[in-house]
């Protein structure tokens, strides 16, 4: 047995008391979000009708680098935080690499992913301002499950619109939401005007995030004391997720190391922001030269092949216009298993950081991601979410480079979730029926041209 330490855990009193607001310290601030009708910059108060006020303030806060985590939120973080920082000795050995690989294990949250880190404060701020009902949409169901959990613990009613195909194909996510008392409706549904219009035009509509967003937003607008919530993309979601990196910073210190490379998978950017931003602040001051790598699926390559433009945040075109790397909101990604990464754009903060060279992005094919996930499962004993497999694949690429050069680089990646409810995807990989998807340049070009006009 090795005497090397495997896991680093913080005591409860070491759980962060503040989130890190990178907007306040970015050398170049993100461009403003615009009202689609007037093309004028939006302010926090423009979103008060839809989101809890404090979340709107956080969204636009470019002055305070540290935002206090409310005590009731911190108390609920204690249910599962700190999450372990783990040295991946098994993976290192299998790769024969000289790199030191660490991962932050967000899969130990009660809902199996990092999404709870933002669901809890979002439910809290709604409760605090007298809201009784919250609503959202969910694709694969990770966000819906986290929101249902947080709503219950704060005594709120949650209504979740789940994309109909996913409602039918992933019945256990629906059961989890219902266990916590959420009302789950497959979208499109007859419960909203938007849903009725869609179903009248297309009776067998399979649903999409676009249809689910339209229904959730309509419910929030037409129900008294009801607010809408989102699980990724927005800056306040990234803010809440920084609890991951702030813990990791203390835990790396316990291990006596500092990361040369930080890696996370990338859907809308929340888990990447969460692990990366607290470390990135030391790059801004010139004190460190850490590399930050976002790993996106080759089937939805907004960071590596998208364009920096003003685009809608949602497929339906309801949100403000956001300055971001995008494939165009009309882009329909192929049906890969990493459902949480099938999003056309990147958050505004990350987009600006990528544009300014503070971070990098790589794209990973579906088969490479599962190959990496399987090796990780067999060496570290945790079955990763299909999304997280992308971070593992990018980490393995870097570790293999170290093997060639003999460098002992320290690599830290975020294990955003476990894959225990995604075994149908592993089944397909193991039976050899999964494929890669190629997105051709012409499709991307066509989508982006539609936005520019």
Ligand X SMILES: *Cc1c(COP(=O)(O)O)cnc(C)c1O
Question: 């809201």: which residue's tokens?
Answer: 131
The only residue of 232, 251, 299, 447 in contact with ligand X, by rule CB under 6 A:
232
The only residue of 67, 290, 417, 426 in contact with ligand X, by rule CB under 6 A:
417
Within residues 332-371, the interface with ligand X by CB under 6 A covers 340-341
Q: What is the rounded distance in angstroms from the CA atom of residue 154 to the CA atom of residue 135?
A: 14
The stretch among 93-101, 147-155, 252-260, 385-393 that binds ligand X (CB under 6 A) is 385-393
Could you say whether residue 313 binds ligand X (CB under 6 A)? Answer: no
Residue 53: is it exposed, middle or buried by C-beta count within 10 angstroms (0-12/13-18/19+)?
A: middle
Bridge partners of 188, per DSSP, are none
Q: Which is nearer to ligand X, 269 or 306 (CB)?
A: 269
Q: What is the rounded distance in angstroms from the CA atom of residue 188 to the CA atom of residue 206?
A: 8
Copy the structure tokens of residue 388.
């997280």
Q: What is the rounded distance in angstroms from the CA atom of residue 135 to the CA atom of residue 219?
A: 7
The only residue of 195, 268, 313, 328 in contact with ligand X, by rule CB under 6 A:
268
Q: Which is nearer to ligand X, 189 or 232 (CB)?
A: 232
Q: How far is the CB of 145 from ligand X (least distance, A)?
A: 9
Q: How far is the CB of 164 from ligand X (least distance, A)?
A: 19
**DSSP character at residue 439:** P
* Residue 272, SS3 per DSSP: helix
Residue 267: is it exposed, middle or buried by C-beta count within 10 angstroms (0-12/13-18/19+)?
A: buried
Could you say whether residue 302 binds ligand X (CB under 6 A)? Answer: no
Q: What is the rounded distance in angstroms from the CA atom of residue 332 to the CA atom of residue 311?
A: 15
Q: Which is nearer to ligand X, 314 or 387 (CB)?
A: 387
The stretch among 7-15, 202-210, 383-391, 400-408 that binds ligand X (CB under 6 A) is 383-391
Q: Which is nearer to ligand X, 252 or 295 (CB)?
A: 295
Q: How far is the CB of 256 from ligand X (least distance, A)?
A: 29
**DSSP character at residue 31:** P
- Give the number of residues in contact with ligand X, rule: CB under 6 A: 19
Distance of CA 276 to the CA centre of its chain: 12
The only residue of 69, 265, 350, 399 in contact with ligand X, by rule CB under 6 A:
265
Copy the structure tokens of residue 367.
């088969």
The stretch among 22-30, 166-174, 259-267, 318-326 that binds ligand X (CB under 6 A) is 259-267
Q: What is the rounded distance in angstroms from the CA atom of residue 425 to the CA atom of residue 16?
A: 35
Q: What is the rounded distance in angstroms from the CA atom of residue 93 to the CA atom of residue 91?
A: 5
The only residue of 269, 301, 306, 328 in contact with ligand X, by rule CB under 6 A:
269
Could you say whether residue 376 binds ligand X (CB under 6 A)? Answer: no
Copy the structure tokens of residue 432.
């050899």
Q: Which is nearer to ligand X, 373 or 417 (CB)?
A: 417
Closest CA to 137 of 158, 112, 120, 153: 158
Number of other CB atoms surrounding residue 172 within 10 Å: 13
Within residues 138-197, the interface with ligand X by CB under 6 A covers 142
The only residue of 30, 267, 278, 333 in contact with ligand X, by rule CB under 6 A:
267
Could you say whether residue 83 binds ligand X (CB under 6 A)? Answer: no
| Contacting residues toward ligand X, per CB under 6 A | 113, 115, 142, 232, 265-272, 340-341, 385, 387-388, 416-417
């Amino acid at each position: 047995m090795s005497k090397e330490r495997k896991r680093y855990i913080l005591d409860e009193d070491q759980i962060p008391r503040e989130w890190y607001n990178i907007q306040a310290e970015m050398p170049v601030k993100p461009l403003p979000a615009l009202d689609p009708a007037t093309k004028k910059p939006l302010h926090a108060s423009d979103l008060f009708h839809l989101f809890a006020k404090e979340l709107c303030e956080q969204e636009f806060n470019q002055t305070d680098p540290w935002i206090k985590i409310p005590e009731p939120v911190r108390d609920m973080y204690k249910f599962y935080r700190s999450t372990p920082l783990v040295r991946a000795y098994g993976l290192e050995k299998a790769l024969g690499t000289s790199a030191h690989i660490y991962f932050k294990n967000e899969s130990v949250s009660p809902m199996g992913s990092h999404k709870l880190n933002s669901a809890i404060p979002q439910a809290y701020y709604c409760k605090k301002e007298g809201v009784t009902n919250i609503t959202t949409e969910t694709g694969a169901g990770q966000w819906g499950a986290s929101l249902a959990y947080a709503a219950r613990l704060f005594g709120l009613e949650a209504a979740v619109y789940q994309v109909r195909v996913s409602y039918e194909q992933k019945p256990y996510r629906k059961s989890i939401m219902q266990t916590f008392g959420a009302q789950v409706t497959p979208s499109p549904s007859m419960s909203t005007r938007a849903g009725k219009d869609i179903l009248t035009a297309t009776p067998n509509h399979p649903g999409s995030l676009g249809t689910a967003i339209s229904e959730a937003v309509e419910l929030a607008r037409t129900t008294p004391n009801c607010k809408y919530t989102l699980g990724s993309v927005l800056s306040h979601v990234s803010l809440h997720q920084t609890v991951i990196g702030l813990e990791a910073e203390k835990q790396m210190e316990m291990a006596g190391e500092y990361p040369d490379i930080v890696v996370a998978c990338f859907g809308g950017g929340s888990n990447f922001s969460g692990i990366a931003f607290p470390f990135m602040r030391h790059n801004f001051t010139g004190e460190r030269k850490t590399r930050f790598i976002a790993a996106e699926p080759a089937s939805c390559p907004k960071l590596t092949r998208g364009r920096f433009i003003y685009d809608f945040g949602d497929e339906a075109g309801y949100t403000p216009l956001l300055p971001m790397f995008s494939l165009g909101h009309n882009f329909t990604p192929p049906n890969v298993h990493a459902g949480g990464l099938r999003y056309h754009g990147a958050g505004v903060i990350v987009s600006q950081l990528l544009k300014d060279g503070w971070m990098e992005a790589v794209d990973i094919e579906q088969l490479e991601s599962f190959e990496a996930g399987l090796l990780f499962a067999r060496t570290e004993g945790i079955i990763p979410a299909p999304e997280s497999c992308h971070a593992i694949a990018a980490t393995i690429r870097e570790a293999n480079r170290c093997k060639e050069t003999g460098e002992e680089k320290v690599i830290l990646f975020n294990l955003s979730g476990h894959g225990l409810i995604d075994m149908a995807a592993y089944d397909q990989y193991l039976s050899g029926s999964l494929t890669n998807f190629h997105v051709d340049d012409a499709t991307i070009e066509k989508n982006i041209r539609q936005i520019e006009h």
